[in-house]
């Protein structure tokens, strides 16, 4: 992983076998990014997404392998207990151009990933909402 900060923007390159969510947390921690939005494109061959099941209060998980282009990876960085919290959604195209996506739970890079993180001059945290079963934004 390589990154460089340009004012409120950070350009990130992930390489083969880098894990997306963990890498974003490392960048946020090392650069003291408290609140940000990000967007990326790249390639993965091992990823798991979830679709939140309102009745169960948990994610239905779907894992994929094989070459996939990351058409869009977007999300935000906030914090929980003073640690970076990454909320990301991903859309990927695999063999035949078939697309899949959802809430990104984990993904390893197969080739590269190109990302821009845009920091926000604010400190937004998350608090667990028992009613919904999720960590909601807290201002």
Tell me if 30 is assigned to some domain: yes
Cα 93–22–110 angle (5° rounding)? Answer: 35
Structural domains in the chain (count): 1
Residue 16 lies in a domain: yes
3-class state of residue 26 by DSSP: helix
Is residue 139 domain-resident? no
pLDDT computed for residue 116 by the predictor:
99
CATH number at residue 89: 3.30.1330.80
pLDDT confidence of residue 79:
97
Give the E-state strand segments of the chain in sequence order: 2-6, 9-15, 36-53, 58-80, 83-93, 99-119, 125-129, 134-138
**Whether pTM exceeds 0.85:** yes
Quick check: is 28 in a domain?
yes
Asked whether residue 85 is assigned to any structural domain, the reply reads yes
In this structure, is residue 80 part of a structural domain? yes
Which domain does 76 fall in, by range? 2-120
pLDDT reported for residue 65: 97
In a domain, 130, yes or no: no
The tens place of each residue's pLDDT in the chain, 139 residues long, gives: 999 999 999 999 999 999 999 999 999 999 999 999 999 999 999 999 999 999 998 999 999 999 999 999 999 999 999 999 999 999 999 999 999 999 999 999 999 999 999 999 999 999 999 988 899 999 9
127 within a domain of the structure (yes/no) = no
């Amino acid at each position: 992983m390589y990154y460089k900060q340009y004012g409120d923007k950070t350009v990130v390159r992930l390489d083969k076998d880098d894990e997306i969510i963990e890498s974003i947390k490392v960048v946020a921690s090392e650069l003291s990014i408290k609140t940000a939005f990000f967007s990326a494109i790249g390639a993965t061959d091992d990823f798991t997404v979830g679709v939140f099941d309102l009745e169960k209060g948990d994610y239905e998980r779907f894992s994929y392998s094989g070459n996939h282009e990351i058409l869009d990876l977007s999300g935000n960085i906030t914090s929980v207990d003073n640690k970076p919290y990454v909320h990301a959604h991903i859309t990927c195209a695999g063999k035949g151009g078939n697309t899949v996506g959802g809430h990104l739970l984990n993904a390893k890079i197969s080739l590269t990933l190109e990302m821009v993180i845009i920091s926000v001059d604010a400190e937004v945290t998350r608090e667990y909402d028992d009613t919904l079963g999720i960590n909601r934004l807290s201002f």
